[in-house]
Amino acid sequence: MTTTAAPASAPGAIEQRYFIVSADCHVAEPPDLWETRIDGRFRSRLPRIEVDASGQKWSVVEGHRPVRVRDLKLEGEDLERSKAGSRDPEERLRDHARDGIDAEVIYPNRGLAMWASPDPLMQAAMCRVWNDWAIELFRGYEQRMAPVAAVAPADVEGAVAEVQRAAKLGYRGVFLPVQPLGTAPPTERRPGYHLPQFEPLWTAIEETGMPISFHVGTGKDPRTASGNGGAVINYVVHALSTAIEPVVQLCASGVLERHPRLRFVTVEAGIGWLAWTLWAADEGYHKHHWAVSPRLPLLPSEYFKRQGWATFGDDPMGIDTMAYFGGAEKILWGNDYPHHEGTWPHSAEVIERTMGHLPIVDRRKVLGLNAAKLYGFNVPPELQSA
């Protein structure tokens, strides 16, 4: 179960073993998962591919403009990644063994679009389908695989019920979209997580003890830009950087003061922005003191250090600046298997390149011990500390 694929760069170490958790993995759902399982009244409204008279394929999602589907010509490892992410746990274990991974936290793949509809009830119905399916799929693999429950906060009352149901089903994490309305098109008034209407949700999540995940790609339509540079603009601006908002919302609003046992994790957003974000949040708290409400016992950065975490894959800037946001305690590594942004199947090289200089005790935390604590994986005794 343990691995030797990870770096052996500790001073004097010939072979160093770690317990490695990828805190950010994905599973490819069956193509007809939602079509076959969703409440009948929502079926005709599901996201779908339509083919026009000229044979062009379009991705159709309610509330969004249709997006042209391009047939990608992938080769080599790109092609391999596009086909990986198996829903056969044994096949996943084989893929993880190649990459040196012992355990994983699992997110949807197509299901990242569960929060695309402007209708909160549609979102909630799609989330229930995922929640019914994912926990059953990984039943019996609890020490290797922890899928997270998807919840649609736009309908707060429904979200509270789903959080409670998810905890009973055996989930160990709650996936909320980066924005409460998810990737639904902007409305006049977009609610934020700092607003009091979400109070019952925080209470319910806190009671279950499950950490919240804000996985990127769910804060706005991550395909907002098109044309020159669009792919890069979408990745940096419309996917990754959206994670700043829920962090500041929770850390500056009093939510974490009222809910001291609530824990949250940004997922796949990287960590290089955290030092600056928390600095700016504290600066705003001090320098705009005449406008700041509520006044809180702790600074925004201190709430993050108490209750926030962040995952990353390959982010040397974040490693260099981690002392500013709480250090190795606060970050979780993930390979984003099998996505193209991720490090699978070359994680050992990336870990060595970005974390080879860290003390072994820090690497142990970042690579697995922090995630094991948050999501309840058992760590072999010999790998519990440096």
Q: Residue numbers of the site for Mn ion (CB under 5 A)?
A: 24, 268, 336
Euclidean distance between CA atoms 386 and 381, whole angstroms: 11
Identity of the residue, 20 or 252, whose beta carbon is nearer to Mn ion in the bound complex:
20
Polymer length of the chain? 386
Residue showing the smallest CB distance to Mn ion in the complex = 268
Nearer to Mn ion, 180 or 217 (CB): 217
Q: Are 310 and 266 in contact (CB under 8 A)?
A: yes
Smallest CA-to-CA distance from 171 within 198, 135, 145 is with 135
Where do the H-state alpha helices sit in the chain?
Answer: 33-37, 76-83, 89-99, 120-137, 156-169, 199-208, 230-233, 244-252, 255-258, 272-287, 300-307, 316-320, 347-355, 360-364, 370-375
- Least separation in angstroms between CB 16 and Mn ion: 27
Does residue 257 come out as left (phi exceeding 0), alpha (psi in the -120 to 50 range) or beta?
alpha
CA gap 161, 367 in Å, rounded: 33
> Structure tokens of 289?
């003191």
Nearer to Mn ion, 158 or 222 (CB): 222
Minimum CB distance to Mn ion smaller for 24 or for 155: 24
The partner residues of 70 in beta bridges, in order of sequence, read none
- Report, in Å, the least distance between residue 313 CB and Mn ion: 9
Instruction: Write down the least CB distance from residue 215 to Mn ion, Å.
Output: 6
Which run of H or of E encompasses 213?
strand 212-215
Contact call for residues 47 and 116 (beta carbons, < 8 A): yes
Reduced to 3 states, what is the DSSP secondary structure of residue 204? helix
What φ, ψ does residue 332 adopt, rounded to 5°?
-125, 130
Q: How far is the CB of 26 from Mn ion (least distance, A)?
A: 6
Q: Closest approach of Cβ 265 to Mn ion, in Å?
A: 12
| Residue (108 or 326) nearer to Mn ion, CB | 108
Q: Which is nearer to Mn ion, 158 or 339 (CB)?
A: 339
* Closest CB 235 distance from Mn ion, rounded Å: 12
8 Å CB contact between 256 and 205: no
**At its nearest, how many Å lie between Mn ion and the CB of residue 94?**
20
Give CA–CA dist 276/274, Å, rounded. Answer: 5
Residue 27: how many other CB atoms lie within 10 Å:
26
Rounded to the nearest whole angstrom, what is the least distance from the CB of residue 346 to Mn ion in the complex? 16
Q: For Mn ion, which is the closer residue by CB, 231 or 292?
A: 231
Instruction: Between 27 and 369, name the residue whose CB sits nearer to Mn ion.
Output: 27
296: its two tokens: 């809180």
CB of 81 to Mn ion, least distance (A): 12
Q: Which is nearer to Mn ion, 268 or 362 (CB)?
A: 268
**Residues near 102 by Cβ (< 8 Å), separated by ≥ 6?**
1, 2, 3, 19, 20, 21, 96, 144, 368, 377
The CB-of-268 to Mn ion minimum distance in angstroms stands at 4
CB nearer Mn ion, residue 245 or residue 268: 268
